[in-house]
Amino acid sequence: MKTTMNTKRILTLLLFSLLAFNSCDESKLDIQPGGPTEDSYFSSEIEFTRAVYGIYAKLSDFYWYNADQNECVIPVVYLPGDDITTSGQDEFEIFSNLNPSSSRISYFYRVAYQLIARANVVLQKIDAVEDGIYVTPGMKDYHHGEALFLRAFGYYQLWNVFGTAPLVTERVLSLDQTTPSNSSGTQLLDQAIIDLTEAATLLPATWDNSNRGRVTKNSANGMLGKCLVFRATVAGNNADYQAAVTAFNNITGISLVPAYDDNFAADTENNAESLFEYQATQAFAFDNVWLSNDFDNAIGSMSVFWGYYSDAWNLFGKAKFTATQKLVDLFDPADPRLDLSLDASTKDFKKYVTRDVLNQPGAASVNNPRILRYADVLLLKAEALNESGGSTTDAINLINQVRARARGAGASPADLSTGQTDRNVIRQWIMDERLMELAGEGQRWFDLRRWHMGGMITLNNAFFSSDLPGTIGFVPDRHINFPIPTSETDVNPNIVQNNGY
């Protein structure tokens, strides 16, 4: 009997201690990770500002070396045009081996959507922000406008490269959102136009010097007009051309800089002609071009790779990119832009390379790519006027503004005759002027593509004036849209591959 009592007592004691052991501790499972989480973030203006910087930072991925001369995505946009060629067998030069497994295609596609997603996060958070978080007058609108602008730039890139990539306008918060189907027609451009229209109402006219490089009302109006011209080209509608002219007319305080090559010099970035640039720099400790911007603050690469032009050592035997004979031949030899843009004998590009500042390892550059500058706007405006039945004189005068700046104090290129009324001739003038003025700036392929889609030109193998005429295999129906990467088609059952791949 006594033993039983003891046993009971001990068992009770034990059960009690077991319970005690447990009762205090389930809260121990409520631990926090070592860093900030979304739950607690976005509680102050500076946190929103950082999230906006995060959107901008994604631009880096379109321009950096990407750890490999064969992986860098600059050629996706730059190389297909008829201004640049290469003696190497690059998929963006010869087209015929361009296929959905291309790692550069995959990367370009992915980072464009990451840019959009970062913008969508900011838009979602701004939409839900409580009063009192923002303290600087206007800053909420500015952030809103920046996010819209950058998202629109993502759509613009996607439309020009893939055409039918899906339209994503909401932040992904569940798996159901991850398998959209293709966009069609100009849906991506349409959204860009909507976003840019709104951004133009939100953004500030200018920023102070320490914020130089952030987008402004002018940036939004410039991109808006550009997108409208693009849409008008393929859809052939006058309203868009006219709306583009209106948007361009809303640009104020912007002018062509006197020296043409200030547009490609590291020390004259964000100048009076600039509307939108990627702000390349040197990461503060060591700009390691083998590590992405997202890798680490001190060494993640923030530079741009102009090595295809400079035949940099880190091409490792990959052929450099040079100017086409077609481009060289188009210039009046006395046009100062010829020698500022390239070396006519070797056809090596000089843009971005001559007045460059390299990053610390010497493997890339801090010289900003000019994504949108005023000369581009002037020529687009001329095109919009010419195509929409506007004043041909005004259109020609706009071209002449660009030519006048180009010749400086010299004689060439001379003004074009304002008496010309044949819109086809003027169109050809604009096309040629764009090729010369914007050569090597990553604009040409997008122009060719839209003109071809709009039936203004016919792209064929001969058109590209490649150094590899025998091998180039451009099939318009197929290559006008680049392939949707297999990284998407392999996992998204609702996506349809572009024609011909």
Please state the closest distance from residue 210 (CB atom) to other proteins, in A: 5
Please state the closest distance from residue 485 (CB atom) to other proteins, in A: 7
Residues 76-105 contacting other proteins, CB under 8 A: 87-89, 94, 96-97, 99-101
Closest to other proteins by CB, 165 vs 398, is: 165
Applying CB under 8 A, does 465 fall inside the site for other proteins? no
Applying CB under 8 A, does 45 fall inside the site for other proteins? no
Please state the closest distance from residue 191 (CB atom) to other proteins, in A: 14
- Collapse the DSSP code of 81 into the 3-class scheme (helix H, G, I; strand E, B; otherwise coil) and give the result: coil
Which residues, other chains included, contact 449 with Cβ-Cβ below 8 Å and sequence gap of 6+?
Answer: 160, 459, 480
**Taking the CA of residue 224 as centre, how many other CA atoms within 13 Å lie in the half-sphere pointing to its CB?**
29
β-partners of residue 347 are none
HEC sequence for 204-225: CCCCCHHHECECCHHHHHHHHH
Applying CB under 8 A, does 213 fall inside the site for other proteins? yes
Please state the closest distance from residue 102 (CB atom) to other proteins, in A: 10
| Amino acid at site 94 | I
Please state the closest distance from residue 476 (CB atom) to other proteins, in A: 15
Q: Which residue has the tokens 């390349």?
A: 280
Among 66, 106, 401, 498, binds other proteins (CB under 8 A): 106
Closest to other proteins by CB, 21 vs 205, is: 21
Distance of CA 161 to the CA centre of its chain: 11
Please state the closest distance from residue 443 (CB atom) to other proteins, in A: 22
Please state the closest distance from residue 58 (CB atom) to other proteins, in A: 7
Would you say the C-alpha torsion 405, 406, 409, 415 has a positive or negative sign? negative
Applying CB under 8 A, does 39 fall inside the site for other proteins? yes
Query: What is the Cα–Cα distance from 443 to 107, expressed in whole angstroms?
Result: 20
Helix 139-161, helix 45-58: angle, nearest 10: 20
Closest to other proteins by CB, 210 vs 424, is: 210
Among 246, 360, 412, 418, binds other proteins (CB under 8 A): 360
**What tokens were used for 132?**
């009192």
Applying CB under 8 A, does 361 fall inside the site for other proteins? yes
Please state the closest distance from residue 421 (CB atom) to other proteins, in A: 41
Residues 394-413 contacting other proteins, CB under 8 A: none
Among 2, 5, 34, 345, binds other proteins (CB under 8 A): 34
Residues 441-460 contacting other proteins, CB under 8 A: none
β-partners of residue 276 are 372
- Collapse the DSSP code of 383 into the 3-class scheme (helix H, G, I; strand E, B; otherwise coil) and give the result: helix
Please state the closest distance from residue 66 (CB atom) to other proteins, in A: 14
Please state the closest distance from residue 332 (CB atom) to other proteins, in A: 30
The CA distances from residue 42 to 35, 90, 134, 151, 464, in Å, are 14, 44, 10, 20, 49
Please state the closest distance from residue 361 (CB atom) to other proteins, in A: 4
Q: Torsion angle, CA of 149/154/156/158, rounded to 10 degrees?
A: -170
Please state the closest distance from residue 478 (CB atom) to other proteins, in A: 9
Closest to other proteins by CB, 164 vs 443, is: 164
Closest to other proteins by CB, 300 vs 390, is: 300
Closest to other proteins by CB, 25 vs 422, is: 25
Do the Cβ atoms of 251 and 393 come closer than 8 Å? no
Q: Torsion angle, CA of 214/220/221/226, rounded to 10 degrees?
A: 110
Binding mask 161-200 toward other proteins (x if CB under 8 A, else -) reads ----xx-x--xxxxx-xxxxx-------------------
Among 293, 324, 400, 401, binds other proteins (CB under 8 A): 293
Closest to other proteins by CB, 70 vs 246, is: 70
Closest to other proteins by CB, 265 vs 382, is: 265
Binding mask 256-285 toward other proteins (x if CB under 8 A, else -) reads ----------xxxxxx-------xxxxxxx
Closest to other proteins by CB, 235 vs 299, is: 299
Q: Which residue has the tokens 């976003």?
A: 195
Residues 107-136 contacting other proteins, CB under 8 A: 109-110, 113-118, 120-121
Instruction: Provide φ and ψ at 491, rounded to 5°.
Output: -125, -5
Among candidate residues 190, 165, 167, 187, the one with its CA nearest the CA of residue 498? 165
Would you say the C-alpha torsion 436, 442, 443, 447 has a positive or negative sign? positive
Applying CB under 8 A, does 462 fall inside the site for other proteins? no
Among candidate residues 229, 253, 200, 250, the one with its CA nearest the CA of residue 385? 229
Among candidate residues 324, 327, 346, 323, the one with its CA nearest the CA of residue 335? 327
Which residues, other chains included, contact 277 with Cβ-Cβ below 8 Å and sequence gap of 6+?
Answer: 213, 269, 270, 368, 369, 370, 371
**What tokens were used for 422?**
């044949």
Closest to other proteins by CB, 165 vs 220, is: 165
Closest to other proteins by CB, 270 vs 418, is: 270
Give the total of residues touching other proteins (CB under 8 A).
Answer: 135
Closest to other proteins by CB, 397 vs 492, is: 492
From start to end of 279-391, where are the E strands? 321-323, 370-373
The continuous run of DSSP H or E covering 113 comes out as: helix 103-127
Residues 4-23 contacting other proteins, CB under 8 A: 6-7, 10, 14, 17-18, 21-22
